[in-house]
Amino acid sequence: MPELPEVETTKTSLKPLLGQQVNAVQVFQPKLRWQMPSDLEDLVGYTLHSVERRAKYLIITFTQAINEQAQQQLPARQLIMHLGMSGSLQQHPFGTDKRKHDHLIITFSAADCVNSTATQLHYHDPRRFGAVLWYEDYSSKLLDHLGPEPLSPDFTADYLYHLIQRTVKADDASDKTSKKRPIARPIKSVIMEQKVVVGVGNIYATESLYLAGIHPATPAHQLSYDQISVLVKHIKDILQKAIVLGGSTLRDFTIASGQTGYFQQTLNVYGKQGEKCPHCDMPLDNIKLNGRASVYCPNCQPLP
C-alpha cells in the first residue's frame, strides 16, 4: 500500500509538470472509492500551480491565466487525490497507450518548451480504492479531523504523552479531555490513528516500535515519557529515511518516473515472522492488533 513516503515521493515527482497547461482530461473508469467527478474536463486550459501533501492525500491546485476579456483571474480549481491500496501516478510521453487499470489520463502541453514533448499523467489503480475528487466537495470530510504531520514540529513526545495521559495544560483546563481516562489501547493502534498522528501505517508502526523496544500491545498509558520520546524519535527517523529512499511498501509500487522504491529491503521485522531478530537472534513473533499483523521480538520488546 502506498504509505506517506510514497505519497511524498509522488508529490516530488510531479514538480516537472508545474506551470504546464492541461490539454485534455480522459476518464476511463470513474468508479474508485468514491465516484470521480463528471466535470473533470473543466481543468482543460488550467495550469498546474502546486502540489501539496496532507497525510496521504495529494492536494493539487490548478490556476488559470487572467481572462483578458473579463480582466480577472478565474478561481483556482483544486483536486484531492488518494492512491488507496494500489494507486500510482505515472508520467508517460504523449501518445503512450492506456494500460489496463489506467482510470484517468491528464495530458499536459509543453508549448512553452520547444524541445520537450507533452506529458501524460496516468492515474493507475488495479484495486480502485483510491480517489480523485474536487477539494471543495470533500476537504472538510477528509482533511479536517486529521492529527499533526509526523515530521512536523507539532508531533513531539510532549504532544503524544499528554494526549495519551489526557493531561492538559492549565490554560486548557476547560478542555473536556481532562475528564477522560488515559488511553489504555495498545500503543500500536494509537500511533496508527489518523486523529493522533497521520501517515504512520502498519509498516512504520511495526518498525518504530521494534527500534524503540516497545511491545506493540503495550497499553499506551503505561509508557513512560522517556519511552514515548524514543518512539517519537524513531517514527520521525524511519519516515524521513523512507522518504529519502523513495519509499516502497507495495512490491510493484513504482514512482512516477518509473523507478521502484527500495525501502523494504532495509526493514528489520515487518513481514519477517519466524525469522531471527536482527539484534538477539530470537525468532520473531506475530500478534494481530485491530486485524493487522504486528511482528515483534519477544525478547527485545517485552510486555511490561
Nearest one of 41, 11, 14 to 26, comparing CA atoms = 41
Beta strands in the chain (DSSP E): 21-27, 47-54, 57-63, 77-82, 88-93, 102-109, 119-124, 131-134, 285-289, 292-296
Residue 286 binds Zn ion (CB under 5 A): no
Catalytic residues: 2-3, 56, 292
To the nearest whole angstrom, how small is the minimum distance from the Cβ of residue 129 to Zn ion? 35
Which lies closer to Zn ion via its Cβ, residue 182 or residue 302? Answer: 302
Which lies closer to Zn ion via its Cβ, residue 21 or residue 268? Answer: 268
Residue 297 binds Zn ion (CB under 5 A): yes
**Alpha helices per DSSP H over the chain:** 4-13, 135-143, 157-165, 187-191, 202-212, 225-245
Q: Using CB under 5 A, which residues numbered 27 to 66 contact Zn ion? A: none
CA 26/CA 103 separation, integer angstroms: 8
C-alpha cell at 282: 530470537
Residue sitting closest to Zn ion (CB): 277
Choose, by CB under 5 A, the member of 44, 66, 280, 293 that binds Zn ion: 280
Stretch that binds Zn ion, among 49-57, 132-140, 235-243, 276-284 (CB under 5 A): 276-284
To the nearest whole angstrom, how small is the minimum distance from the Cβ of residue 189 to Zn ion? 22
Size of the site for Zn ion (CB under 5 A): 6
CA dihedral angle for residue 227, residue 209, residue 247, residue 31, rounded to 10 degrees: -110
Q: How far is CA 289 from CA 65, 186, 192, 222, in A?
A: 51, 8, 11, 17
Nearest one of 260, 228, 255 to 159, comparing CA atoms = 228
- Decide if 58 contacts 7 (C-beta within 8 A): yes
Binding mask 115-134 for Zn ion (x = CB under 5 A): --------------------
Residue 299 binds Zn ion (CB under 5 A): yes
To the nearest whole angstrom, how small is the minimum distance from the Cβ of residue 229 to Zn ion? 21
To the nearest whole angstrom, how small is the minimum distance from the Cβ of residue 215 to Zn ion? 12
Give ∠ CA 153-196-169 in degrees, rounded to 5. Answer: 70
CA 116/CA 113 separation, integer angstroms: 6
Q: Using CB under 5 A, which residues numbered 155 to 214 contact Zn ion? A: none
Residue 300 binds Zn ion (CB under 5 A): yes
To the nearest whole angstrom, how small is the minimum distance from the Cβ of residue 286 to Zn ion? 14
Residue 81 binds Zn ion (CB under 5 A): no
Binding mask 225-264 for Zn ion (x = CB under 5 A): ----------------------------------------
Name the residues that contact Zn ion, by CB under 5 A: 277, 279-280, 297, 299-300
